[in-house]
C-alpha cells in the first residue's frame, strides 16, 4: 500500500487521522499553516491541550469545531454588521451632514 493512499491531497483524511494528533497532524488535517493553528490556540478558538511542552488535539473535538464553524452565519464584509446604510445619528461625531 502506498503512503498516499487514504490521504487527501496535502492532508489527512478523516478515516486515517489518529484520535490524538500532534501539531503537524492537526495542521494537515485542518489544511492550515502552523502559525494559523498557534494563533487559534492562543486566542482559545481551537480546542487543544498540552502534553508536556507539546500541543495535542482530540480528533473528535476538531471535528466538532469544524462543524460548528461551518454552521456559523456569514459575517458582513463591513465588519460592524450594519453595512454602509445608516442614519446620521449612527455616525461618529463630526461625520454627519454639515450644519
Instruction: Provide the pLDDT for residue 79.
Output: 54
- The CA-atom distances, in angstroms, between 70 and each of 65, 66, 73, 82 are 9, 6, 8, 22
Q: What is the pLDDT of residues 20-74, one digit of tens each?
A: 999 999 999 999 999 999 999 999 999 999 999 999 999 999 999 999 988 877 7
Instruction: Provide the pLDDT for residue 31.
Output: 93
Amino acid at each position: 500500500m502506498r503512503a498516499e493512499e487514504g490521504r487527501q491531497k496535502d492532508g489527512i483524511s478523516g478515516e486515517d487521522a489518529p484520535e490524538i494528533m500532534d501539531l503537524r497532524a492537526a495542521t494537515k488535517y485542518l489544511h492550515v499553516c502552523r502559525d494559523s493553528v498557534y494563533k487559534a490556540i492562543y486566542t482559545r478558538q481551537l480546542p487543544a491541550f498540552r502534553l508536556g511542552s507539546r500541543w495535542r488535539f482530540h480528533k473528535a473535538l476538531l471535528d466538532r469545531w469544524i462543524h460548528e464553524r461551518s454552521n456559523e452565519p456569514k459575517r458582513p464584509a463591513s465588519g460592524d454588521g450594519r453595512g454602509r446604510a445608516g442614519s446620521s445619528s449612527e455616525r461618529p461625531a463630526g461625520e454627519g451632514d454639515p450644519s
